[in-house]
Structure 1
Amino acid sequence: MQYKLGNYIHGNIVEASGAKRDIYSPLDGSILAQGADSSKEDVRKAAQDAAQAQSSWANLTTKARVEVHYNYRGLLKKHRDELAEICHKENGKAMPEALAGVDKAIELTDFACSMPQLISGSVQEVSKGIECKYRRVPIGVVASITPFNFPIMVPHWTVPNALAVGNAVLLKPSEHTPISAIRSAELWKQAGLPDGLLHVVLGSKDVVEEICDNPSIAGLSFVGSTPIAKLVYTRASANLKRARCFGGAKNYLIVAEDAHPKVADDIISAFCGMAGQRCMAASVLLSLGEITGIVDAVLSQAKTLVPGITLPPLISKQAVEKISQYLDKAQERGAKILLDGRTTPIQGPGSGYYIGASIIDWRGREDEMPLEEVFGPTLELIHADSMERAAELQNRSPYGNASSIFTQSGKVAAEATKRLQAGMIGVNIGIPVPREPFSFGGIKHSRFGEGGITGWSNVEFFTDTIKITTKWNPEDRKDWMS
């Protein structure tokens, strides 16, 4: 089946005017859709249309706006299987993972439905007859630039909240996975969202540059690799635009000697779930003491994973080649390859983008390990004799997205959470994703700009706070505000 592909502009799918593009399924290499990238002029027209629609949307009460969100939430539940199937085909996720992404989108929409309570403001009589209050107002037209690895979930980090507080949105999905975004936009319209408030613009570099430069766009969020996040943040900020850009990761799991033996299951899930293509994936296992039994269990389970059956594909042929090159680099630096995914038999279609799980042992050569993000089903083993050394090894990474400690000692856990430089830290949990209203987001080179991208930080990003001071006692001239 081929899907209809085009920009979603003012409630309709229209053909973009840029270069032609085919969308391939990583499952078998087949063409899912054919279309074109947007030109910069396409983006300008979308931004102008959004600006015209946004003013009347902002004048509605928050309660009136989120009535659309309640309807949309119901449509997400109704079309849950359909959306997951699209995600499965264009991203390659296993169906349980795709369904989980839709479920998370529903949860994120739930949070936006609470916006009338979240931004109700406050009022206080600060002096006799003088009242101060504040209210939140939208910033205007905003853009959300999203990655391929969560084509349903990540757009819902931003779009529901941005709309609920009164903004209009330009959504620029990954060029690998645009179909989910277009289908979501169609459901927003079906839910009652007025035309012009949500546009989907397809494309890559030219589209992002226009979003950064366009004066009609007040702010943008970006999720992707660190090199591109830096470029986007720098360009958008140079144009005095509000920007919050999230980059890559190299997340560590620190396993102490007293960790529960079942931690091996968590490690497998953390480094092989979604074939390692998530910014929360664990890519380094750091042993704090002797954990031979746990490492053996991880190796044993990893050997049973079958690409095409129990291990999904990567997003592209280039992604497979990148992992292969990384394994070559590790061997050149003296690491031992305990499990080589390049030699794992594949049971998926031969034209799909598959590679097996890999485990690299750096023990004794910890300082030789490259610090780059791998973004695939690859786990690197290093060792530390103390928590101080473990923190030193983790903290040398330029990234600061997530890190976890597995231990049954409260003292060890407390020391780890104090020493580790990561925006999201887990204790006995491999994927320490915070839930709303707590915000998702790393530190260091995993994030450029202030705040998180979900929860309360997201609300603050998409609004301005207006402070109002009122005096009703003209006869009193003694107050300092007179």
Structure 2
Amino acid sequence: MLYINNQWLEGKAKSFQSINPFSGETIWEGNFADITQMKSAVSIAYKSHEFWSSQSVKLRIKIIRKFYDLLGKNKLEMARLITSETGKTNADAASEVTAALAKLSNSTLAYKKRTGSENNLIGDMEAHLLHASYGVISVVGPFNFPLHLPNGHITPALIAGNTVVFKPSESTPMVAEYTMLLWEKAGLPAGVINMIHGGKEIVEGLCEHPLNQGLLFTGSYKVGRKINKIMSCYPEKILALELGGNNPLVVWSTKKINAAVDLIFESAFISSGQRCTCARRLILPNNNNGKKILAKLKQRAQSLSYSNKSYLYYGPLISSKATEEFLRFQDKLINLGAKSILKGKKVRGSYNLVTPSLINITGMKKSYDEENFGPMLQVYFADTFDDALAEANNTKYGLAAGLISDNEKLFEVFTQRIKAGVINFNATTTGASGAFPFGGIGRSGNLRPAGFYAADYCAWPKASIIKKL
């Protein structure tokens, strides 16, 4: 179902299904919006903007808080839907809901600190600053965090006074519809948020619609680049791209091998590796310590059990296509000269569950700098810390990076020289604070970080000088 102007409507374009990644069972069926319905959603959002933006920030936040209260009361049902559609473990799905619940307080503070109002006296003049909403903003969400990541755009957009057209991932329509149901129960005025299902044609239509003032996208570099190309014809529109990463995790000068392995394992394999901040490349010292770490990591990966769904460390990949791409990526690396340490395979009798892959890329003549969205870790042995840093930066991406070490001074060097936006020390690469910006450089986005800085692309400044005649 679509949600336009507080009404639930059937889509009029082609049908599609939501498939349970565990079983392959069809758990939801519906239809994409057609172009006319997309235009209607934008038009309704445009008409609703004047009223919504004219309300005080205090009132807007009061209504938004009702949504968060409802989400808190229904967190178990939301987590269940996330598990059903994404294949996440129960704990992983619950953690996504918890992360989403923290968004309101961070977004409220960000609005005040980054885009609030300010008055200063300069001699006989008064300098005045305020921020205004853009109007209609479209949010295109991903499958891997179907609640948390769209919510990370929608909440600051609504606080700033924008109205929203939300296009969720085709893989997670149930989560999107339940989210809209909670917004409806929260009493959000008609047309302030609208939700439409669709694919490439709908996204292109949103980019080009004259009443749509911006598009906030989370997804792959490949799709983000196509969107950027379309939006380059509309420099007057806001575009925020939150893309992927080929994230390095460097382990250097540590005697705490077990603790290091725990951090490596979670960084690489949490959520089946389907997080943009997951470690993709592990850089180890070319010595006995590095070899011990790899041996323990391999042993840990081999110890995983897949016989009982309740005890899985991670769930399946999102689709059969994703499983095929994961295995194809592994073969590509091997064909380019990498050596298999532990070959990832599809678990027998499962639908999209795969085992971890460990690949030694040290001897490759040419690196393969692409993002793999699955439980695969490429291993590189470096002779010196300078070599390790050079390899860590040997990517066109720049989202996340991590260092595990007993030497805190190494992290000072690491932070200064690493080309990444989320940099962690003795922590997983997937950890990020909602009170800080989230984003990177290079192919990881278009230099509009989300997180705390999402407020920046949800409002524009109006600066005035006021004098008496």
Match of 1:319 among 319, 322, 325: 322
Counterpart residue number, 2:276: 279
Counterpart residue number, 2:261: 264
1:327 to 1:120, Cα distance in 2 relative to 1, 3 A: closer
Q: Distance between the aligned counterparts of 1:110 and 1:185, measured in 2?
A: 20
Q: Distance between the aligned counterparts of 1:328 and 1:433, measured in 2?
A: 30
Counterpart residue number, 1:207: 202
Q: Distance between the aligned counterparts of 1:185 and 1:115, measured in 2?
A: 24
Match of 1:389 among 387, 390, 413: 387
Tell me, yes or no, if the aligned pair for 1:335 and 1:362 is still in contact at 8 Å.
yes
Q: Distance between the aligned counterparts of 2:229 and 2:397, measured in 1?
A: 18
Tell me, yes or no, if the aligned pair for 1:440 and 1:453 is still in contact at 8 Å.
yes
Counterpart residue number, 1:135: 130
Q: Distance between the aligned counterparts of 2:188 and 2:9, measured in 1?
A: 18
Q: Which stretch shifts more, 131-140 or 106-115?
A: 106-115
Deviations 1:12-47 (A, max 9, x none): 221111111111110100111111112222111100
Task: Please list every run of 5 or more consecutive structure 2 residues that lacks an aligned counterpart in the other structure.
Answer: none
Amino acid at match of 1:409: N
CA displacement at 1:351 relative to structure 2 = 5.5
Amino acid at match of 1:253: L
Tell me, yes or no, if the aligned pair for 1:320 and 1:353 is still in contact at 8 Å.
yes
Counterpart residue number, 2:410: 412
Tell me, yes or no, if the aligned pair for 1:105 and 1:152 is still in contact at 8 Å.
yes
Tell me, yes or no, if the aligned pair for 1:121 and 1:133 is still in contact at 8 Å.
yes
Counterpart residue number, 1:299: 298
* Matched position secondary structure for 1:447: coil
Deviations 1:137-183 (A, max 9, x none): 11100011111111111011111110011000111111111211111
Q: TM-score, normalised by structure 2?
A: 0.95
Tell me, yes or no, if the aligned pair for 2:18 and 2:26 is still in contact at 8 Å.
yes
Amino acid at match of 1:471: K
| 1:346-425 matched pairs, under 5 angstroms | 346=348, 350=349, 352-363=351-362, 365-425=363-423
Deviations 1:304-354 (A, max 9, x none): 1234533310001011111111222222233221212216x44xxx36211
For the aligned residue pairs, the C-alpha RMSD in angstroms reads 1.6
Tell me, yes or no, if the aligned pair for 1:305 and 1:357 is still in contact at 8 Å.
no
* Matched position secondary structure for 2:437: coil
Counterpart residue number, 1:146: 141
Counterpart residue number, 2:64: 69
Match of 2:334 among 331, 335, 339: 331
1:166 partnered with 2:161:
yes
Amino acid at match of 1:27: F
Deviations 1:81-130 (A, max 9, x none): 000000000110001010000011100122234467444411111122x2
How many pairs are equivalent?
460
1:245 to 1:259, Cα distance in 2 relative to 1, 3 A: farther
Tell me, yes or no, if the aligned pair for 1:425 and 1:432 is still in contact at 8 Å.
no
1:97 partnered with 2:92:
yes
Deviations 1:239-273 (A, max 9, x none): 23210112221111100132522110111111110
Q: Distance between the aligned counterparts of 1:112 and 1:410, measured in 2?
A: 32
1:45 partnered with 2:45:
no
Tell me, yes or no, if the aligned pair for 1:274 and 1:312 is still in contact at 8 Å.
yes
* Matched position secondary structure for 1:359: strand
* Matched position secondary structure for 2:232: helix
Higher relative contact order (CA 8 A, sep 6+): 2
* Matched position secondary structure for 1:208: helix
Match of 2:193 among 192, 198, 223: 198
Tell me, yes or no, if the aligned pair for 1:109 and 1:156 is still in contact at 8 Å.
no
Q: TM-score, normalised by structure 1?
A: 0.92
Amino acid at match of 1:79: N
1:21 partnered with 2:16:
yes
Q: Distance between the aligned counterparts of 2:299 and 2:199, measured in 1?
A: 41
Q: Distance between the aligned counterparts of 2:123 and 2:389, measured in 1?
A: 50
Q: Distance between the aligned counterparts of 2:176 and 2:104, measured in 1?
A: 15
Tell me, yes or no, if the aligned pair for 1:62 and 1:115 is still in contact at 8 Å.
no
Q: Distance between the aligned counterparts of 1:302 and 1:164, measured in 2?
A: 44
Deviations 1:378-421 (A, max 9, x none): 11111111222222222221111111111111222111111211
1:254 partnered with 2:253:
no
Counterpart residue number, 1:452: 449
Q: Distance between the aligned counterparts of 2:234 and 2:255, measured in 1?
A: 49
Match of 2:120 among 119, 124, 140: 124
Tell me, yes or no, if the aligned pair for 1:289 and 1:384 is still in contact at 8 Å.
yes
1:243 to 1:354, Cα distance in 2 relative to 1, 3 A: same
Q: Distance between the aligned counterparts of 1:212 and 1:84, measured in 2?
A: 31
* Matched position secondary structure for 1:329: helix
Tell me, yes or no, if the aligned pair for 2:118 and 2:128 is still in contact at 8 Å.
yes
Q: Distance between the aligned counterparts of 2:350 and 2:193, measured in 1?
A: 36
Q: Distance between the aligned counterparts of 2:314 and 2:81, measured in 1?
A: 18
Tell me, yes or no, if the aligned pair for 2:337 and 2:364 is still in contact at 8 Å.
no
* Matched position secondary structure for 1:342: coil
Match of 1:465 among 445, 461, 464: 461
Amino acid at match of 2:343: D
Q: Distance between the aligned counterparts of 1:292 and 1:75, measured in 2?
A: 50
Amino acid at match of 2:263: D
1:7 partnered with 2:12:
no
